[in-house]
Amino acid sequence: MAATESPLIIALDYPDLSQALALADALDPARCRVKIGKELFTRTGPAAIDAMHQRGFEVFLDLKFHDIPNTVAGAVEAAADRGVWMVNVHASGGRRMMEASAERLVKRGLKTHLIAVTVLTSMSDDELHETGVSGNALAQVERLARLTQQSGLDGVVCSARESASIRELCGGAFLKVTPGIRPPMADQGDQRRVMTPEAAMSAGSTHLVIGRAITRAADPMAALADIERSLSDRA
Ligand SMILES: O=C(O)c1cc(=O)[nH]c(=O)n1[C@@H]1O[C@H](COP(=O)(O)O)[C@@H](O)[C@H]1O
């Protein structure tokens, strides 16, 4: 399978496999990775993963596991056995849950990247307070990133607004996978902590998750090319 140097991960948030395949067939695995999330996976099951692997894409399976340690470790192992490049859990599942998952991969010699979601990019500080968290999003992301690193995982999902702080706290090699990416003038939609692609890379994000800015664009390939251009202009 062709590994790519690109930081771009395209979120295939579609209700059926044919729409996901239509975009995948226009994309080039040398230029991006793809993400399969809850909607597509619940519709298609592992068939979507297999179809992307057949096309040469590395796959981020985004099912955000959040359960007791034994259950999540088993789910992470199952994902890795499918050969996915990356899988995620919720950091708020706690240290033992994350350690059990990381240890399972090590024990089996599986190379899948394991990362943890800190605070969803759709949440504002006020919404976070409503869930009982007293600090702001940045403080909670920092706390959970530290816990994630101590638990032996490879990185976090956070917003690009927190990437610089997490780079300082956890180092450059610790993955900072950032959704909530919006090109200038793009509709924010349900996201709250957003950044442009070039600002996100400058802030220290290692990977950018991009969904609707490409999948809902009138011309998805032109939208992707614009984003790639904005990143190479920055370099
Ligand atoms: O884990 C994720 O990928 C994720 C975490 C997060 O905090 N926020 C977030 O938006 N995501 C995912 O990233 C994608 C963002 O999609 P767009 O907002 O359309 O670019 C969606 O597939 C979300 O499920």
β-pair partners for 8: 208
The answer to whether the beta carbons of residues 61 and 50 sit under 8 Å apart is: no
**DSSP for residue 162:** G
3-state secondary structure of 205: coil
Burial class (CB in 10 A: 0-12, 13-18, 19+), 128: buried
Q: Give pLDDT, residue 198.
A: 98
Which residue of the set 16, 28, 38, 67 is catalytic? 67
Q: Give pLDDT, residue 127.
A: 98
What does the block give as tokens for 50?
Answer: 């297999």
Per-residue DSSP letters for 49-101? HHHHHHTT--EEEEEEE-S-HHHHHHHHHHHHHTT-SEEEEEGGG-HHHHHHH
Over residues 29-46, the pLDDT tens digits come to 999 999 999 999 999 999
Distance CA 131, CA 127 (A): 7
Residues across the chain? 235
Nearest to 178 by CA among 111, 118, 110: 118
Q: Give pLDDT, residue 7.
A: 98
Q: Give pLDDT, residue 1.
A: 47
pTM: 0.97
Using the mean position of ligand 1's atoms as its centre, give its distance from the Cα of residue 38 in Å: 11
Nearest ligand 1 atom to the CA of 123 is: 7
Distance CA 83, CA 58 (A): 9
3-state secondary structure of 141: helix
* Tens digit of pLDDT at every position of the chain (235 positions): 457 899 999 999 999 999 999 999 999 999 999 999 999 999 999 999 999 999 999 999 999 999 999 999 999 999 999 999 999 999 999 999 999 999 999 999 999 999 999 999 999 999 999 999 999 999 999 999 999 999 999 999 999 999 999 999 999 999 999 999 999 999 999 999 999 999 999 999 999 999 999 999 999 999 999 999 999 988 6
**Domain 8-234 classification at class level:** alpha beta
β-pair partners for 156: 116, 176
State ipTM. Answer: 0.99
Domain ranges, ordered by start, for the chain: 8-234
User: 212 CB under 6 A from ligand 1?
Assistant: yes
Q: Give pLDDT, residue 3.
A: 76
Query: Is 63 part of any known ligand binding site?
Result: yes
Q: What φ, ψ does residue 167 adopt, rounded to 5°?
A: -60, -40
Over residues 205-224, the pLDDT tens digits come to 999 999 999 999 999 999 99
